[in-house]
Amino acid sequence: MERYEPLKIEQKWQKKWEETEAFKATEVKGQPKVMLAEMFPYPSGAGLHVGHVRNFTIVDVLTRFFRQQGLNVMRPFGYDTFGLPAENYAIKTGTAPQEVTAVNITNFRKQAKKLGYAIDWSREINTSDPEYYRWTQWCFLQLFKKGLAYQKESYQWWCPEDQTVLANEQVENGKCWRCGHEVEKKKMKQWFFKITEYADELLDEIDNLEWPEKIKTMQKNWIGKSVGAEIDFEVEGGAPKIKVFTTRPDTILGATFLVLAPEYVGLEYIVSEDCKDAVAKYKAAALKKSEIERQENKEKTGVFTGAYAINPATKEKIPIYVADYVLAGYGTGAIMAVPAYDERDREFAEKLDLPIVEAELIDRDAYGTPKVTYRMRDWLISRQRYWGCPIPIAYDKDGNPHAISEDQLPVMLPEVKDYKPDKSGRSALAKAKDWLTVEIPVKDPKTGEVHMKKMTRETDTLDGYACSSWYLWRYASPRDDKAAWDEKAISYWEPLDYYCGGDHAVAHLLYIRFWCKFFADEGYLPFREPIKRLLYNGYINAPDGKKMSKSKGNVIDPLDVINDGYGADTLRTYEMFIGPYDMDAAWDTRSVGGVYRFLNRCYNLCFGNTSKVDKNVVVRNKTIKKVTEDIHRYSFNTAVAALMEYVNELYKNGASKEDLMVLAKLLKPFAPHLASEMLEKLDSDDEWPKWDEKYLVADTVELVVQVNGKLRAKFEIEVDDLEDEEKLTEMVLADERVKKYTEKGVKKTIFVKKNKLINIVV
């Protein structure tokens, strides 16, 4: 008999699948479909890591399972390629991100193929491909036309040393990641998507999704709907009124001071002359803190503005403070402080020795206009970075933004040599002088005539999340050059049935829902929720339980596992066996060996002698049922465990051809190469087997009987009978096999239920 040689078998089947385009998906009217996808990866230079393998294999197990059940299945693949890592690499090395990305994609594809995924490779997409981002730009323009992409001043991290804007992740402890200089916030005009327009719908429809509860809760908290009121406070000396947002208008009698965010618009009209310096100093310090820091439960700080407001309920004069625990972007950026009822206000009052008044509660509507507020803000999408999708906008000489016309798309990302943003805070696109000027058709509002007008292009690029907010729809018709997605194809395949990932609970998963609702409203999509079911997988940690990281030197490279001779089937099966899919798990090299031995046993059983008698019909049917139901409830680890038990039984009793066919079919989603090899040997198709209930009526267990400690007989009994000691003892003592050892008379019987054992002492 030949030996199990995974690498040989895997190469053979991968070649076959490639040549026959085995996983190409086409619409078949009337045939039920399933579409599955993982959150597409960023193709880093390091290649696939064990986390990718877990994520992709979950999708693949389901893909193959549904294929074997006769459904029309689509499992596409793509790459999320724009973003900072490639750009940072480009800045450091001067290599074009386009080049690096192409190399990394080639490597990722090669590695994914080595894992034997049932991917329809004709549907591969890449967000930095002009044929793709042309349609990202089209999407932007639709939002722009409807006023849902707009510009507004906003604070950005700014490094005064490098003279450049920084992304959040480039700020480390308040310092620039590159030069270490302290960063500050600078006000700049930025582009936003108006996601808040859909806040209510995004919130209301969460409960209908088949998503993990924890993700649903995170989205709800992120949207953060608050029902409260706005109340106006007059300011002494004639400065404009201060509007506060409160969820507790009924506590107004206890409002003993007001607090404004340091960025409060109009602060300068409120602050008195002698407090100006102190306030300015405080504001400068506050701008250096992130919002997260400001919300942390640290000691409260703040300064007096020198001004007073009138509490409309008590008519009392109350002082106005500035403090960074009040955020500029929430509510109105101003609060009435009620230290008797609000914890943060109490801390602040105690620190600054301000009055705390336990006043009675009054009617909520007495002074307040009802107001609903959301924690979610509009989505800031402009980046002063090179490696992103160019925003299809140009400015006239007065600085007004105009849409690039759709037939001028894509706005190609220009080639430059130096990828660093320049000193004006603009991205490296500003250095492409030839590219900057463009002529676009503009309609004269009076005559209606269209003229070509010279304009200057936008040099900001889009946040990468914009590129990933519609990619699932591109999968329906990835080579379409007439539209972002084809109406017919998308109504057949989508919404997506299964989506798997372990990140982006609120960002990506909220943005894609927002775009879906918008494009449904525009008539481009026939559904309002893009993802039916979400599987949120856990992380794989190093053997010591710590996060894998290059610096700790504890990274396991999945390709090493394959190339060490274990093969992809072992790697895949192991990563499904490692634990419940949604829990973090630590890598265990010994257990990899265990899975490898299990696959060897499968191979040896199949290529060894088969038994002519069918002794395993009960366990076979039970295994079919268990594996089927386990995969349906995503319990992949217990499905693999059931297969291992099944193989143990087959070893004990001998395996019939039927037993082996079932084994190979059930194994195929996990170890597709080996299973294909087995099915070929058995001359069998891979149709998912069905179980016959008649073999599963009662659950039975084995009862062991000893006489004076020696094993004398075994009984197959129903599980429920373990509860009836008398009945069991009676049955055992009456059995011929036992009787011949107990003729001298039974002294006593000992029943150990836990071990399913009866010991008879004679």
Region near ligand ANZ per CB under 6 A, out of 124-132, 245-253, 266-274, 574-582:
245-253
DSSP designation for 182: B
Among positions 620-659, residues that touch ligand ANZ (CB under 6 A) are: none
Instruction: Note whether 121 binds ligand ANZ by CB under 6 A.
Output: no
CB of 254: closest distance to ligand ANZ in angstroms?
8
CB of 109: closest distance to ligand ANZ in angstroms?
46
Report d(CA 196, CA 380) in Å as an integer: 12
Instruction: Note whether 68 binds ligand ANZ by CB under 6 A.
Output: no
The residue whose two tokens read 């109009």 is 266
CB of 237: closest distance to ligand ANZ in angstroms?
24
CB nearer to ligand ANZ: pick between 328 and 510? 328
CB nearer to ligand ANZ: pick between 324 and 659? 324
CB nearer to ligand ANZ: pick between 348 and 688? 348
> Which structure tokens are listed for 71?
């459904």
CB nearer to ligand ANZ: pick between 226 and 600? 226
Region near ligand ANZ per CB under 6 A, out of 276-284, 332-340, 387-395, 479-487:
332-340
CB of 637: closest distance to ligand ANZ in angstroms?
40
CB of 374: closest distance to ligand ANZ in angstroms?
9
Among positions 470-529, residues that touch ligand ANZ (CB under 6 A) are: none
Report d(CA 540, CA 575) in Å as an integer: 9
Among positions 336-375, residues that touch ligand ANZ (CB under 6 A) are: 336, 338, 341-342, 373
Which residues of 491-552 form beta strands (DSSP E)? 496-501, 531-536, 540-541
Interaction pattern, residues 88-107, with ligand ANZ; x per rule: CB under 6 A? --------------------
Provide the residue count of the chain.
762
Q: Provide the H-helix boundaries in 71-198.
A: 84-93, 97-114, 130-145
**Residue choice 333, 339, 464, 530 for contact with ligand ANZ (CB under 6 A):** 333
Instruction: Note whether 330 binds ligand ANZ by CB under 6 A.
Output: yes
CA–centroid distance for 641 within its chain: 27
CB of 192: closest distance to ligand ANZ in angstroms?
18
Q: Return the sign of the alpha-carbon dihedral for residues 462, 468, 473, 477.
A: positive
**Residue choice 175, 248, 508, 601 for contact with ligand ANZ (CB under 6 A):** 248
CB nearer to ligand ANZ: pick between 370 and 593? 370
CB of 277: closest distance to ligand ANZ in angstroms?
25
Q: Which residues fall within 8 angstroms of residue 81, CB to CB, at 6 or more apart? A: 42, 43, 101, 105, 126, 127, 128
CB nearer to ligand ANZ: pick between 226 and 408? 226
What separation in angstroms does the CA of 102 have from each of 24, 40, 122, 478, 570? 23, 16, 17, 18, 29
HEC readout, 618-653: HHHHHHHHHHHHHHHCCCHHHHHHHHHHHHHHHHHH
**Residue choice 43, 262, 331, 530 for contact with ligand ANZ (CB under 6 A):** 331
Report d(CA 470, CA 479) in Å as an integer: 15
Instruction: Note whether 578 binds ligand ANZ by CB under 6 A.
Output: no
CB of 340: closest distance to ligand ANZ in angstroms?
8
CB of 295: closest distance to ligand ANZ in angstroms?
8
Contacts made by residues 652-655, CB under 8 angstroms, sequence distance 24+? 653/611, 653/615, 653/616, 654/610, 654/611, 654/613, 654/615, 655/605, 655/610, 655/611, 655/616
Instruction: Note whether 677 binds ligand ANZ by CB under 6 A.
Output: no
What number of chain residues touch ligand ANZ (CB under 6 A)? 18
Please check whether residue 510 is in contact with residue 521, taking contact to mean a CB–CB distance below 8 angstroms: no
CB of 199: closest distance to ligand ANZ in angstroms?
13
Region near ligand ANZ per CB under 6 A, out of 63-71, 330-338, 511-519, 535-543:
330-338
Listing DSSP states for 196-224 in one string gives GGGHHHHHHTGGGSBS-HHHHHHHHHHH-
CB nearer to ligand ANZ: pick between 324 and 649? 324
**Residue choice 11, 95, 107, 247 for contact with ligand ANZ (CB under 6 A):** 247
Among positions 260-279, residues that touch ligand ANZ (CB under 6 A) are: 261
Region near ligand ANZ per CB under 6 A, out of 196-204, 335-343, 426-434, 691-699:
335-343
> Which structure tokens are listed for 86?
């490639």
**Residue choice 231, 275, 335, 678 for contact with ligand ANZ (CB under 6 A):** 335
The residue whose two tokens read 């009620």 is 338
Please check whether residue 580 is in contact with residue 535, taking contact to mean a CB–CB distance below 8 angstroms: no
Among positions 370-399, residues that touch ligand ANZ (CB under 6 A) are: 373
Q: What angle do CA 93, 94, 99 make, to 5 degrees?
A: 100
Instruction: Note whether 327 binds ligand ANZ by CB under 6 A.
Output: yes
CB of 325: closest distance to ligand ANZ in angstroms?
6
Q: Which residue in 544, 548, 589 sits closest to 51, CA to CA? A: 548
CA atoms within 13 Å, Cβ hemisphere of 579: 12
CB of 326: closest distance to ligand ANZ in angstroms?
4
**Residue choice 56, 192, 245, 493 for contact with ligand ANZ (CB under 6 A):** 245
The residue whose two tokens read 């596992």 is 561
Instruction: Note whether 251 binds ligand ANZ by CB under 6 A.
Output: yes
184-193 sheet: strands from edge to edge: 164-166, 149-159, 184-193, 379-380
Instruction: Note whether 242 binds ligand ANZ by CB under 6 A.
Output: no
Residue type, position 62, single letter: L
The C-alpha R_g of the chain, in whole angstroms, comes to 33
Q: State the virtual CA torsion across 105, 107, 111, 117 in degrees, nearest 10.
A: 20
Region near ligand ANZ per CB under 6 A, out of 327-335, 473-481, 493-501, 620-628:
327-335
Among positions 597-616, residues that touch ligand ANZ (CB under 6 A) are: none
Region near ligand ANZ per CB under 6 A, out of 58-66, 326-334, 491-499, 744-752:
326-334
What separation in angstroms does the CA of 350 have from each of 254, 255, 345, 347, 354? 15, 14, 9, 5, 6
Please check whether residue 572 is in contact with residue 592, taking contact to mean a CB–CB distance below 8 angstroms: no
Instruction: Note whether 326 binds ligand ANZ by CB under 6 A.
Output: yes
Please check whether residue 140 is in contact with residue 163, taking contact to mean a CB–CB distance below 8 angstroms: no
CB of 487: closest distance to ligand ANZ in angstroms?
41
CB of 285: closest distance to ligand ANZ in angstroms?
17
The residue whose two tokens read 């006043």 is 359
Q: Can you give the binding site for ligand ANZ, defined by CB under 6 A?
A: 226, 245-248, 251, 261, 326-327, 330-331, 333, 335-336, 338, 341-342, 373
